[in-house]
Amino acid sequence: MKHAARKLFTEDSSFATALVIATTHMYGTEALEWDPATLQAELQDDLDIHILPVNMDKLMAGITIVTTDKFHSSLPDFIDLCNTLSGSPFNPEIFDPADSYEVAWGVVESAILWPNTETKMSPEIPAYIEATLENEGLIGSPKVLEGLVPTYKLNVEPEGFADDPTMYSAVFQTQKDKTKDIDDAVIKNLQLLAEQIDSLKISNEPASAILQRLFRETQ
């Protein structure tokens, strides 16, 4: 297990969920309450590694989701957590809007980390998601976001292409492809996450079975 944990904490492709699982398996759930500096020092000492800063950020983002309601109740925290879960360095001094992919993956991974279906989102969060999708030219929500933003808005008015229906069709398809690209990226991430969890070998049940419901929801 330690060999797999070393790899997870030293590769930038690791996901927060796998890092949280590895940490709690090593130290128990009490580690979720440790000071970040203490936790980092313990992990680096016990695994004899230097943790990539991006992975420490992901781990703390995962812990925040598990131990607080910030992901669901605070728009600024929601944006920061979505960015961090997708691998953007955490910098509280710089505002970095979460794009549609980062939002989609953030919502999926937060649901894995804290699968409480009764948790309600602050209304400003779905509003932000909808504005982000519209600003990026998506005509519909990625499948994992349909429950939060069940909207289908075409951002290209057909009247502007009255003399060129072929161009309108091409623009429409381009927007549609953007949504599919996000869905495909989420599915790929889930596959990689399942492999990372399986590599820890801490359960006889494969991670692919645990994540099967999420796979179905993104098909």
pLDDT digits (tens, 9 = 90+) for 184-215: 999 999 999 989 998 988 765 555 555 544 44
pTM equals 0.84
Q: Looking at per-residue confidence, does 75 or 204 come out higher?
A: 75
What pLDDT, on a 0 to 100 scale, did the predictor assign at position 214?
43
218 pLDDT tier (thresholds 50, 70, 90): very low
CA distances from 122 to 98, 116, 118, 119, 145 (A): 16, 15, 13, 10, 15
Domain boundaries, the chain: 2-217
Pairwise CA distance, residues 87 & 101, whole Å: 12
What pLDDT, on a 0 to 100 scale, did the predictor assign at position 166?
67
Q: What does the pLDDT average to over 66-83?
A: 95
Pairwise CA distance, residues 10 & 190, whole Å: 20
What pLDDT, on a 0 to 100 scale, did the predictor assign at position 171?
62
Q: What does the pLDDT average to over 127-140?
A: 87
Q: What angle do CA 22, 70, 144 make, to 5 degrees?
A: 75
Pairwise CA distance, residues 38 & 42, whole Å: 6
Amino acid of residue 208: S
What pLDDT, on a 0 to 100 scale, did the predictor assign at position 160?
53
pLDDT at 50 over 90: yes
